Amino acid sequence: MPEPLLDVRALDAFYGDFQALFGVSLRVAPGEVVAVIGANGAGKSTLLNCIAGAIRSRRDAILFDGEPTGDQPAHAVVGRGIALVPEGRRLFASLSVEENLLIGGQVGRPGPWNLARIYDLFPMLAERRHVPSTSLSGGQQQMVAIGRALMSNPKLLLCDEISLGLAPIVVREVYGRLPSIVTEGSSLIIVEQDIVQALKAANHVYCLQEGRVALTGSAGTLTREAISAAYFGA
């Protein structure tokens, strides 16, 4: 196996006294798409928040590009090349579409993505660049959220439930753009409730159950029975 881009080693995460993750280990190779699936409350979003630095953890629990980042704050982690598309999109309501994208790019990391390239990826955003981000449809808002994260030219893009609340046709459209993001050199971790979608998009799958990795394997080899056992507990 090549040197992993991201190496999560025995990660524990806490909300106060409540422990949300127990010794989770996960690897992402350069150019790989990893799906993290699991039931509500399994710890999927917590895992992404730890990787992005929004939740601090043990220093050497997360290695990115060979460097420990577990104890780094979010604003430092994004500068190293990890960007998060947060659950529920969470666009900046008082900023226009274009301002949302620009703020994503303000860390100034060099790379393939800029405003023009984002508008190529999501052409419908170009026409609506000056409207308030809140006036967009859910699918368009999701595109802005992805574009905003891409503007920091991440080596690793974390997508938290990007299909949530969207119509199936919009979900297909959004997922249809992921391969071109990988082609530009980003690895992806996608957190999904929609297992079919996740298995289709990913090379490798991790299934979380109550804060632990219950199942892992390459997307093609996992059986439905194994996944449902890991999902709900045997």
Partner 1 sequence: MEWVNIIIQGVLIGGLYAMFAAGLALIFGVMRLVNIAHGDLIVLAAYIALMTTDTLGLNPLLAIVVVVPIMAAIGYGLQRGLLNRTLGDDVLPPLLVTFGLSVIIQNALLELFTADSRRLKAGAIEVASFQIGEGVWIGVLPLLQFVVAIAVIGGLQLLFYRTPLGRAFRATSDDQSVAQLMGLDNRHIFALAMALSLAVVAVAGVFLAVRTNFDPAIGPARLIFGFEAVIIGGLGSMWGTLAGGIILGVSQAIGAQINPGWQLLAGHLAFLLILAVRPEGLFPKVQG
Site string for partner 1, 55-84 (x = CB under 8 A): ------------------xxx--xx---xx
Indicate whether 219 belongs to the interface with partner 1 (CB under 8 A).
no
Q: Could you tell me if 53 and 72 are in contact, meaning their C-beta atoms sit under 8 angstroms apart?
A: yes
What is the SS3 assignment for 75? helix
- Near partner 1 by CB under 8 A: residue from 92, 173, 177, 182: 92
Indicate whether 137 belongs to the interface with partner 1 (CB under 8 A).
no
Residue 71 or residue 99: which is nearer to partner 1 going by CB? 99
Indicate whether 99 belongs to the interface with partner 1 (CB under 8 A).
yes
What is the SS3 assignment for 18? strand
Work out how close the CB of 228 gets to partner 1 at its nearest, in angstroms, rounded to a whole number.
33
Work out how close the CB of 136 gets to partner 1 at its nearest, in angstroms, rounded to a whole number.
11
**Is the torsion defined by CA of 76, 81, 86, 89 positive or negative?**
positive
Ramachandran category for residue 40: left, alpha or beta (phi over 0 → left; psi -120 to 50 → alpha): beta
Work out how close the CB of 39 gets to partner 1 at its nearest, in angstroms, rounded to a whole number.
24
Q: Could you tell me if 34 and 204 are in contact, meaning their C-beta atoms sit under 8 angstroms apart?
A: yes
Instruction: Pick the closest to residue 92 from 152, 147, 150, 133 (CA basis).
Output: 133
- Near partner 1 by CB under 8 A: residue from 22, 30, 58, 103: 103
Instruction: Pick the closest to residue 185 from 37, 31, 36 (CA basis).
Output: 31
Indicate whether 95 belongs to the interface with partner 1 (CB under 8 A).
yes
Footprint of partner 1 on this chain (CB under 8 A)? 52-54, 73-75, 78-79, 83-84, 86, 90, 92-95, 99, 102-104, 106-107, 132, 134-135, 148, 152
